[in-house]
Structure 1
Amino acid sequence: MKIYYNGEFLNDHEVKISPFDHGFLYGLGVFETFRIYNGHPFLLFDHLKRLRKSLKELKIEWNLLDEEIQTILRELIERNEIKDAYIRLNISAGEGEIGLYTGEYTNPNTIIFIKPMHESNIVEKEGVILNTPRNSPEGKQRLKSHHYLNNIIGKREIGSSPSVEGIFLTKEGFLSEGIVSNLFFIKQDKLYTPHVDTGILNGITRQFVIQWAKSKNISVEEGFYKEEDLLNADEIFISNSIQEIIPVTTIGEHFFKVNRNSLMKELQKDYRFYRESLLSMTEIERSEQK
């Protein structure tokens, strides 16, 4: 598989990372994962906007423009002969002396991974309330960073089945998010999702869902909820940029039916409609006004 590494397109086994990279030594790096649908990088500009905000917070200087990333992605697609793909765009701080560094990083490492991505046969999931609490963010808000130990511990708790998603609670007992997803539930045609102040990652697909709901005049509430709020919901679903929108139909002994005319069904339909055209979720409102 050909991947992009610091200006070059290399075979994946040719890429070498220095042991002095502070992304390796101290977890100082961030990434974005998103999908290519029929050659189109869905919500690419939103992912890049979040990436740059995170890099600025970490004092990592990164100068690739949106148009340059689009060109790189087209080249990766062509070289690997892939139309539908998983992309991971990874930026690490780059090499430095051993020890905690507080200055600017001006020579980061950029790697863009690609692999084929096909339609999943998983149409629903089982939710498991985790015993492992969600850790608090390292800073003011959670970044999509290399710090994934909490997620890995949660994943080990539920096992490797792709049809099961663990749901974290905060140490205070509030709902937060899935191991690799954001959490939503529906009650009487109103949409609920944990507030970012619970320490969750503000996922791009999460933001898309909220933007979509507002464009449809659907009430959305971001707040602090307990497990019983979730278990009393009419419907539950999780979201992320790779798995899209997936209903959660069981949690323990509780079952949740997906209604034929539910908001979730409408959301899934619109998501499929937009995924080969949108570069930014701000285009949703303009599309709805046409």
Structure 2
Amino acid sequence: MTEVYLNGTFMESERARISPLDRGFLFADGVYEVIPAFNGVLFRIDEHLARLERSLGELQIHNPHSRETWQMLCQKLLLRNGGGNASVYLQVTRGTAATRDHAFPMPPIPPTIFMTTAALNAETAVTQPDSASGAAAISADDPRWARCDIKSVSLLPNAMLRQQAVASGAVEAILTRDGFLTEGSSTNVFVVKDGLIATPPLSNRILGGITRDLVIELCRKNRMPFEERAVSEAELLDADEIWISSSTKDVMPIVSLNQKPVGHGRPGEVWKALARRYVEFKRNICCE
């Protein structure tokens, strides 16, 4: 039976209760993180916790724990649910106020802290690059708010976009705004043309992905041609390769966009080279 953590207590998931007056429920007034663990090792946890700190700061929500305490709680919850390969989800909302009011409660109230885990398949496309088949995506206009850099629990547009993709037989919706690529509904996006890798720069329009940062790090370390710059919608549609990245998907090749092949319609050689380096890096951190 799954155990969760809620406001200082580990408990069976069926026992967890959160007030309907919680501002996370009423206003989506909160932030979250998803931290993958492989072989029981929390992957890039410092980077995830740094992003959590930033998101909380942007919403003026008190960070209830130090990084050391967060890491201890993640590790303990992971172990209580069997360890191994899993994702740890943690959410912090502004808390439960006595009355519903848009304004932040003053004085501040204690935040609500919720954590849970889910099984994670460690065998993604990058682990078998030569036999990977790739996935399909659609493109869509980006209708989201102007602070996508905050990892907020306000995800209704993202959910609607992802459902649009699923209804089309795809795994992701890749978004554009004003003629330029932003990101996917739950991923960052890279394009490749003539061997050159490109991804949009950080801004308020995209989330600073932890896996995105690792891909950039590996590209630079291995001298793979790479640019962090504005990518036009035309470039996206004409790309030789498209990749999406996230903490649970690693780096996935997109071989079909809007039911049309990307490049040759199969994972490209640049992605395969990056995938091998990505797996080597991960194994060095989360060795069996």
TM-score normalised by the chain length of structure 2? 0.86
Q: Give the corresponding residue for 1:221.
A: 227
Alignment CA distance shift 1:104-1:194 (3 Å)? farther
Q: How does 1:9-158 map to 2 (within 5 A)?
A: 9-96=10-97, 97-102=99-104, 103=106, 105-120=108-123, 123=132, 124-130=134-140, 132-138=141-147, 142-158=149-165
CA distance in 2: counterparts of 1:223 and 1:134, whole angstroms: 21
| Inter-partner Cα distance in structure 1 for 2:218 and 2:210 | 12
Q: Greater shift after overlay, 203-212 or 192-201? A: 192-201
Structure 1 residues 259 and 107: CA distance shift in structure 2, 3 A: closer
Per-residue deviation, 1:101: 2.2
* Secondary structure in structure 1 of the residue aligned to 2:203: helix
Structure 2: gaps spanning 5 or more residues: 126-131
- In the TM superposition, residue 187 of structure 1 has moved relative to its aligned partner by 1.8
What is the identity percentage for the equivalent residue pairs of Structure 1 and Structure 2?
A: 28
State the SS of the aligned residue for 2:252: strand
Q: Is the 8 A contact 1:43 1:278 kept in 2?
A: no
Contact kept, 8 Å, 1:28 with 1:146, in 2: the verdict is: yes
CA contact (8 A) 2:85 2:122 kept: no
Matches within 5 A, 1:122-271: 123=132, 124-130=134-140, 132-138=141-147, 142-159=149-166, 164-170=171-177, 172-197=178-203, 199-251=205-257, 252-257=259-264, 258=266, 262-271=269-278
- In terms of mean alpha carbon deviation, does 62-71 or 238-247 score higher? 62-71
Cα distance in 2 between the residues matched to 1:218 and 1:10: 47
SS of 1:127's equivalent in the other structure is strand
Quick check: 1:61–1:106 contact (8 Å CA) kept in 2?
A: no
Stretches of structure 1 lacking an aligned partner (at least 5 in a row): 280-290
User: Distance in 1 between the 2:246 and 2:169 partners?
Assistant: 14
Counterpart CA distance in 1 for 2:10 and 2:18 is 15
TM-score normalised according to structure 1 size: 0.86
**Corresponding residue of 1:286:** none
- Runs of 4+ aligned residues of structure 1 deviating over 3 Å after TM superposition are 102-106, 119-123, 160-163, 257-260, 276-279
Q: CA RMSD in A?
A: 2.3
Matched length = 274
Contact 2:56-2:63 within 8 A present in 1 as well: yes
